[in-house]
Structure 1
Amino acid sequence: MTDSWSSSSWDVHLDWRPETGRQGLADAMRRAIREGRLAPGAVVPSTRELAKDLGLARGTVTRVYSDLTVEGYLRTNQGAPTRVAANEVPDAPSRKQPTPRAAPWVPDARWDLYPGRPDLSSFPRAAWVSATRRVMQEAPARAFDYSDTRGPAVLREALSRYLARSRGVLADPERIVVTGGFSHGLFVLARVLHERGDRELAFEDPSLPEFRDRAASAGPAITPVGVDERGVQVSEIDSPAVVVTPAHQYPLGVTLAPERRTALVRWATSNGSLVIEDDYDGEFRFDRRPVGALQALAPERVVYAGTTSKTLAPALRIGWLVLPRMLVEPVRGALENLGWRPPALDHLVLADLLNSGAYDRHVRQRRLAYRRRRDRLLAALPGGITPVGISAGLHLLLRFPPDFRSESEVIAQALRASVAIDPLGRYWMRPGEHPEGIVLGYATPAEHAFAPAVEALMNVLR
């Protein structure tokens, strides 16, 4: 049974059960605020009044109010009543709608610092609308027909020029295949490799489990390769192909050392093996010029994979593979067999952004904005916590001192404070003891939410 209670200043039904105690009351109030049942600016009962209404100790209610104030749900002023925070107005959904989630795999939390996404509010809407208008005005009628399975030639040509100047990729348009994001391209590649007889595919350990699962669903067995402070340990690779993140290892954030780059290319060339280079955030390097793509060292042995998911938005579902010549037709054929039909109009809009320079301008603006965020986050960190991978990207790893709380305790405390962060532990492939830490996506919050999100996280870490 849930309790309904009222006071002189408030009449609200809370889905709260007495046996859930302090934590249950806090969760119930959070839900009521998010769903709009407690309106922004509304006065809440005094701690004494609410404690009496619910039959709780006043100290319990005081601690709940204190927690919700720290999290930004409530506002307190000396000598004035406690109120629901006014900044809930733009974020509060209609009471007829469910609370939206950022993504199905992200914990439902008010402060989203989960890695893997850019600031979605920064999507260049005006530039996209302008490019769409030009495409609609200038595209020939055949642009509305089924597109080349590899993607429109105009986009592949634009990508060829962009990747050459920004990442040093040797990208003949005939070797580019545009996919529905990196996960889609990885699945197709894994399927092609498995069908040609490559029964294993190696991944860095640690690496993103969602990608490992996606590749495994295409057939090959997935094997681990260790990573240290100099990147993937090439001497451990014992599979015909390996997926790596050399510019900014995910999630550890290290850059593949020059001698390891050389060793990896030598391994692939001498063994007739394949390297799949996931360049997921290569445009975002802050402390020096971006590290060039590995692909340029061995274009017939390295598949280069890129995406708009970090530069623009994941919802576009646009990625690309720059393939060795021997794989172009097998990949195209696999896409045909899977029934892939590229969204040609979106591809033409992206080509326009690339050719007009709007895409480059957006990337430069976001690089500056994300660097500022990184610096603000680093300045706020309490002593003893070590940030790793700070020179690039949209995330960083926080490692704990030996006497700190466990990773699972920090994650649990963050969720209680309604802060979404990612535990490093879920990325490891091999069992056993591993370094602990949390992975933060400091690019994820909208600009107005960044400072309070960091403040809520710092309260957890302190």
Structure 2
Amino acid sequence: MAHSGTALPVTLDRESSIPLAVQLADALRESAATGHLRGGDRLPSTRALAERLGVSRTVTSAAYEQLHAEGWIAGRHGSGTYVTTSPPSDRPIHRTVPGEAAEPVDILDLTPGVPWAAGLDRAAWRRAWRAAADAPPQSRAQRAGLPEYRAAIAEHLLRHRGLLVGTGSVLATGGTTAAVVELAGAVFSPGDVVAVEEPGYQRAVQALLAAGVRVVGVPVDSEGLRPDAVPAGARAVYCSPAHQYPMGGRMSAARRVELVERARAEGMLVIEDDYDGELRFDVAPLPLLAALAADVVVHLGTTSKILTPTLGAGWMVAPPAVASAVLAYRDRTGTRPSPAGQRVLVELARHGDLGRHIRKLRRELSERRALLVSALEAGNVPVLGDDAGAHLLVPLRSAADERARRAAAEHRGILLDGLARHFAGTPSEFGVAIGYAGCSREALRDALDTLVGLLR
């Protein structure tokens, strides 16, 4: 079937800097891609189309030649020009990335792991990005990370975590999970056993499993991971001693010493995930395992919980042999953490904005936690977890109870996280984890009565 010039969805802008032939080719290509034109449709001749559009034949001929070269149209001797390609379906399909919402959903997200990004000083944020953009483009990759970023992290660790390290001991990473991926590729071999907290951080678990590492769950209680339950022969132990994720407890001093002594005696590495160690409200931030035993501890930190995942920046402090293995891995694979987020962090630290934000963050989250705990306890809802971080846990009796409470909450417009999914093996404890950093304080306050009613 032939299409007339007026039927074709072609609009040419004679004021545009884009040549008319390019505009015409783009319009016809889009028509073929979206189904307005289909395979077998006959197009007007270049002369007829030029007359109908009020352009020279040079324009239409150039457009047809381009589309012919791309395979969208073909000429048949003595018959005319035809569209050769049909779209894959009757209408265009706009796909979203799996796991990402196609449209914003009107729901209050109280799942853990979301930072208080709204609390960032926007003027400081813009200033840091502008200053970061002043740095000249790199011609060579910095496998260990930008020296100024590593120096800023060394200063941060001393001020906020009490860890004295030199700039040369710090490696930039893309965050804690990215660091675990690198450790799995650089240090471990397929079949190596790595003990993990059960329940624990499943992204780290999946990173280890993807590298062929054998993962063995170790139970946790109110004092954190149980070192006596770590299997003999384990190559490493992955844990979050300052604020166990997701149960919220802290590893006792006695267990810290026991874990370090086992690591030294048996040649194990201890991977310390300090994902929110700066955020303690009842006492000063707890000392790091890395300060106790730098020879066997790989310390991991991240900006995603204290600032925002936008930066994609974290850090690693490791024994020299481990750090060398990670750098060799980066050389082999051509990977490195992106310097853009590192530059922004440097500028935030340079002007004191990083320290100011962390102090403000502690005050804000402490008040939010107190608000939430007070409401839950007044409603006779039990609460687990130290006075720290950005989430707490409400224990429940069974998997069915957990599913029912989460479903009821979602029906009321509140998204909660379940404890069962944080087990690498068969879940043995159940509950809901409530994050209180990602929403506004007003939204959290407005949801309290509903939360207590759902969890009582």
2:273 is aligned with what amino acid?
D
Report the counterpart of residue 212 of structure 2 in structure 1: 219
**Any conservation in 2 of the 1:188–1:218 contact (CA below 8 Å)?**
no
Distance 1:323 1:118, change over 3 A: same
Amino acid at match of 2:296: R
Corresponding letter in the other structure for 2:319: P
For the pair 1:410 / 2:405, whether they are aligned, the reply is yes
Aligned to 1:388: 384
CA distance in 1: counterparts of 2:99 and 2:312, whole angstroms: 16
TM-score, normalised via structure 1 length: 0.72
- Whether the 8 Å CA contact 1:109–1:419 is kept in 2: the answer is no
Q: Which residue of 2 aligns with 1:50?
A: none
Aligned equivalents of 1:299, 1:287: Cα separation in 2: 26
Deviation at 1:376, TM superposition (A): 0.8
For each residue in 1:186-232, what CA deviation from the matched residue of structure 2 results, as whole angstroms up to 9, or x when unmatched?
1110112224x771111101112222112211221111111112111
Residue 243 of structure 2: SS of its match in structure 1?
coil
How far apart, CA to CA, are the structure 1 residues paired with 2:258 and 2:322? 23
Measured in 2, the distance between the counterparts of 1:457 and 1:419 equals 8
TM-aligned CA deviation for residue 176 of structure 1: 1.4
- Residues 14-413 of structure 1: pairs in structure 2 closer than 5 A: 110-137=107-134, 139=135, 141=136, 143-195=137-189, 199-238=192-231, 239-381=234-376, 382-400=378-396, 406-413=401-408
What does residue 90 of structure 1 align with? Answer: none
The residue type equivalent to 1:385 in the other structure is: V
Contact 1:181 1:319 in 2 (8 A): yes
| Residue identity in the other structure for 1:388 | L
Q: In the TM superposition, what is the alpha-carbon distance from 1:449 to its structure 2 partner?
A: 2.2
Distance verdict in 2 for CA 1:102–1:309, change over 3 Å: farther
Greater Rg over alpha carbons, structure: 2
Q: Map Cα deviations across residues 364-399 of structure 1 (whole Å, 9 max, x no partner).
A: 101100111101111211533211114111000112
Q: Distance in 2 between matches of 1:403 and 1:254?
A: 21
Check conservation: 1:109, 1:415, Cα contact below 8 A: no
Q: Is the 8 A contact 1:374 1:390 kept in 2?
A: no
Between 1 and 2, higher relative CO (CA 8 Å, sep ≥ 6) is seen in 1
Question: Which position in structure 1 is the counterpart of 2:82?
Answer: none
Equivalent pair of 1:170/1:299 in contact (CA under 8 Å)? no
Contact 1:194 1:219 in 2 (8 A): no
**What is the CA RMSD across the aligned residues, in angstroms?**
2.6
- Give 1:264's aligned amino acid: L
SS at match of 2:187: helix
Shift of 1:162: 1.3
Give structure 2 stretches of 5+ with no counterpart. 1-93
> How many Å separate the matches in 1 of 2:352 and 2:417?
35
How far the C-alpha of 1:296 sits from its partner, in A, is: 0.6
Q: Counterparts in 2 of 1:412-451, with a 5 A limit?
A: 412-431=407-426, 434-451=428-445
3-state SS in 2 of match to 1:194: coil
| SS, match of residue 332 in structure 1 | helix
Q: For 1:339 and 1:252, locate their aligned partners in 2 and report how far apart those are by CA, in whole Å.
A: 37
Aligned-residue offset at 1:102 = 10
Q: Deviations over 1:281-314 (max 9, x none)?
A: 0011011111011101111100000000101111
Secondary structure of 1:443's counterpart equals coil
Change in CA separation of 1:221 and 1:403 when aligned onto 2, cut-off 3 Å: closer
One-letter amino acid of the counterpart of residue 207, structure 1: G
Please give the alpha-carbon distance, in whole angstroms, between the structure 1 residues aligned to 2:312 and 2:364.
Answer: 23
Q: Distance in 2 between matches of 1:109 and 1:421?
A: 14
Matched AA of 1:449:
A
Equivalent residue, structure 1, for 2:446: 452
CA apart distance, 1:135: 3.7
Alignment partner, residue 94 of structure 1: none
Following TM superposition, by how much is the alpha carbon of 1:119 offset from its aligned partner in structure 2, in angstroms? 2.2
Aligned residues: 358
- In the alignment, the residues of structure 2 paired with residue 345 and residue 417 of structure 1 have an alpha-carbon distance, to the nearest angstrom, of 40
Contact in 1 for aligned 2:243/2:386 (Cα 8 Å):
no
The Cα of 1:109 is off from its aligned counterpart by 5.8
- Sequence identity (%): 34
